Structure 1
Amino acid sequence: MWKTWAAVVGVIAAVVFLAAAELVAVFLGGAGSPLVGVGGAVIDLAPRGAKDLMVTLFGTGDKVALFVLMVVLVVAISAGAGVLERRRPPLGAIVFAIGGVLSLLAVTTRSGSGSLDGAPTVVGVAAAIVVLRVLLARLRRWEAAEDTRVVPTARDVAGPPDATPTPAQGSGSGSTAAHSTGPARRAFLVWGVTTAALAVVVGGASRLGTATMQAAVAARRAIRLPSPATVAPAVPAGASLDVDGITPVITPNDAFYRIDTALRVPQVDPATWKLRIHGAVDREVEVTWDELLALPLEEHVATMSCVSNEVGGDLIGTAKWLGYPIRELLAKAGPHGSADMVLSTSVDGFTAGTPLDVLQDRGTAALLAVGMNGEPLPPEHGFPVRMVVPGLFGYVSATKWVTDLEVTRFADAQGYWTPRGWSERGPVKLESRIDVPRGGSTVRAGSTVAVAGVAWQPHTGVKGVQVRVDDGAWQDATLADSISADTWRQWVWRWTPTKGSHRLQVRATSADGEVQTSVERPPAPNGATGWHEVTVTAS
């Protein structure tokens, strides 16, 4: 029993550590959170295979899964520290101190960390050790009271038939024992429950109540985006097919995939945001939020996809973006002829290396985006400003919360994912996907079944899609109208199945005549390839 209670004390101390650290972080504007710092370090240090596995298993829930894993580890380690402190003090406290040092290193070595960012961790560790020792002292008093109490025997309680109970006998002894352990037990439980409850309340409120977060949320609500100087053409009525279950041609903001390295969504106040363009340029350029909104903004519908997307995966979406052409800002800076790359940096330190010629290409709608589907960018999608570059995977182009563009060379700099094994340049591959019928589903034999989905190769476009059943002849699907070369296209093929199990496969042909390859490759290092297939049963 005592070992279990000691483990509980260790967990309470860990909760206090996090609560105290988050509370101090509130006064630092949200900076220095050890939970975010350690989580970020785990992401940075994890081998490529671990990252791929997390995305494959959990998709856009990869960050929640990481937090759950971290919580499980913290609970296990802190419980062990509590048991260790009870048996061999101060070893449990030393475990917490070591954890604090590791957290401190993770926090203070993060990109953009300040001189005070280590304060939350220091305060949190100190509070945890105090709580650990105070609660274990009360646990020991309860344990000592249990060990020293007098437990009456049956003979003591009953006594001789004609005996008169004495103060040392019978219920008197039992009552004394109960009273000797009760206060110690109550003191431990009251202290433990109160401390844990207070820590949970303080920690939760601190996570939600930073001044920076409140300012960013309030600022976003108050924003009214200007009308674009160049309006995107209306989405053709024929761009959307009337097929149940097919992917919508425009992805709602709340359904748009999110894959990035930010454990805590950065909260950026537009009033303090600015973009710096520097490096191998004739002149440095800085743009503030108000200056950006005053420029002639453009609308453009574009499909974006993640390099981690498996064949047939859903880490892809299409939205109407509002922003200013990056090429125009680069022209003001005047890149040197030797430069071939732009290293973009997020407010949280993430970087991406984008080919300079792509950003300068007048035929590429590479935007410094401020709007998404008619509203300011959602915080998780880069508010207030992000990059959108059709035709490139996000890991080399779609920097969210962007604050810095350095004109440089691929030979001199690398984006975040390149040293982790991913290619320097990430052109989106020609791909297609079957949305309906779903794999493993049952359809009615002899009926007309809509086999439908989407196909894409942004910046090139798709001109054909074919479907085949059970390795038979390829059949041409009907394509929906195209919005532009930068977006996916819906497609449908009508099929009359016979009874039995059938395998459906799809392939696309790009606007320049390329036929989608059947060679199966994983996402690393520059995007998955192969034909998407599903198996259905007709009955």
Structure 2
Amino acid sequence: MDAGTWELRVHGMVENEFTITMAELLDLPLQEHYVTLACVSNEVGGDLVGNAKWLGYPIRDLLARAKPHAGADMVLSGSDDGFTASTPLEVLTDDRAALLAVAMNGHALPRDHGYPARLVVPGLYGYVSATKWVTDIEVTKFAEKEAYWTTRGWSTHGPVLVASRIDVPRPGATVKPKSGDRVVTAGMAWAQHTGIEKVQVRIDNGDWQEAELSEELTSDTWRQWRCEPTGLSADTYTVSVRAIDLDGNVQTSERRPAIPGAATGLHERQFTVE
């Protein structure tokens, strides 16, 4: 797409319909926020999740200019390629860092991240929020409109579930104990717009142990965790991880597939101690 000819139309159940150009958008007071995005089709322990610094204009301010009608409960965002996403209106008008983004990590959006503009919404999976190459925002109702993935069996709202993964040790790795009998385990945990309270690690079927957490950047970003289980002699073990968010929700051990609203279960890794 050409940023010089790009336009975003805001319309539907609103008092003031309008169209904004890129030049007009860049003249607005833009904000930068770190936000972790996750794909609903990410398998347990998968890598379809990442964190970046986004520059953009708050979507709630765009909607405030449009003045949604009473009774509206959904924003249907549309892409230049025909994709649509259904986002709860209340999510786009609360205090979270939902952005009409134009830059990522200090540079203009890469083409595959939606250049020249895309949506970034903390706390929702991308299929109901993160429209790339966005050109249309329609304020409407869930009862009246359906989005691309909703018509294919996925749930309508798509809130991100508390999740975690193991990055160290690698699958099937053979490791040497550190400082005697300590083995390093580490990874990531996320519960966007709620925040991570704690992460726990278990070796085989033993007791859950508290992991050390990195400083929380914001509640909209993931957190690194690290734990060094002790007492591991030469043998093969399985390490499991679970996260608990700031609302007290414990990551479920129940396994389910991604459809209709994200895969669940605990990530495990098997490794061998020399």
How far 1:444 moved relative to its partner? 2.1
How far 1:500 moved relative to its partner? 1.2
How far 1:447 moved relative to its partner? 4.1
Aligned to 1:313: 46
Aligned match of 1:372 in 77, 95, 104? 104
Q: Distance in 1 between matches of 2:197 and 2:90?
A: 26
After TM superposition, the structure 1 = structure 2 runs for residues 4-23 of structure 1, keeping only pairs within 5 Å, are none
Question: Quick check: 1:396 aligned with 2:128?
Answer: yes
Q: Distance in 2 between matches of 1:507 and 1:416?
A: 32
Aligned to 1:434: 166
Q: Distance in 1 between matches of 2:141 and 2:247?
A: 30
Q: Comparing both structures, which one devotes a greater share of its residues to helix?
A: 1
SS at match of 2:64: helix
Q: Distance in 1 between matches of 2:214 and 2:66?
A: 41
Aligned match of 1:341 in 74, 80, 89? 74
Q: Distance in 2 between matches of 1:299 and 1:430?
A: 24
Aligned to 1:414: 146
Q: Comparing both structures, which one devotes a greater share of its residues to strand?
A: 2
Deviations along 1:357-413, whole A, 9 cap, x unmatched?
10011x211100001000000011000000000000000000000000011100110
Aligned match of 2:202 in 468, 488, 503? 468
Aligned to 1:491: 225
How far 1:495 moved relative to its partner? 2.4
SS at match of 1:327: helix
Q: Distance in 1 between matches of 2:258 and 2:173?
A: 26
Q: Distance in 1 between matches of 2:263 and 2:36?
A: 17
Return the TM-score normalized by structure 1.
0.50
Aligned to 1:382: 114
Q: Distance in 1 between matches of 2:241 and 2:24?
A: 47
Q: Distance in 2 between matches of 1:400 and 1:447?
A: 48
2:35 corresponds to which letter in structure 1?
Answer: A
How far 1:293 moved relative to its partner? 0.2
How far 1:283 moved relative to its partner? 1.6
Q: Distance in 2 between matches of 1:301 and 1:321?
A: 6
1:498 corresponds to which letter in structure 2?
Answer: S
Q: Distance in 1 between matches of 2:243 and 2:166?
A: 11
1:506 corresponds to which letter in structure 2?
Answer: V
In structure 1, runs of 5+ residues without a counterpart are 1-267
**Which piece of structure 1 moves more, 506-515 or 444-453?**
444-453
Aligned to 1:538: 273
After TM superposition, the structure 1 = structure 2 runs for residues 40-439 of structure 1, keeping only pairs within 5 Å, are 268-361=1-94, 363-439=95-171
Query: Number of matched residues?
Result: 271
Return the TM-score normalized by structure 2.
0.97
Aligned to 1:191: none
How far 1:498 moved relative to its partner? 1.4
Aligned to 1:481: 215
Deviations along 1:191-250, whole A, 9 cap, x unmatched?
xxxxxxxxxxxxxxxxxxxxxxxxxxxxxxxxxxxxxxxxxxxxxxxxxxxxxxxxxxxx
Aligned to 2:264: 529
Q: Distance in 1 between matches of 2:102 and 2:3?
A: 11
How far 1:285 moved relative to its partner? 1.4
RMSD after superposition: 0.8
Q: Distance in 2 between matches of 1:449 and 1:481?
A: 22
Deviations along 1:438-496, whole A, 9 cap, x unmatched?
12111125543210001000000001000010110000000010000000000100123
Q: Distance in 2 between matches of 1:448 and 1:517?
A: 27
Aligned to 2:249: 514
Q: Distance in 1 between matches of 2:59 and 2:210?
A: 39
Q: Which has the higher contact order (CA 8 A, sep 6+)?
A: 2
Query: Rg larger in 1 or in 2?
Result: 1
SS at match of 2:57: strand
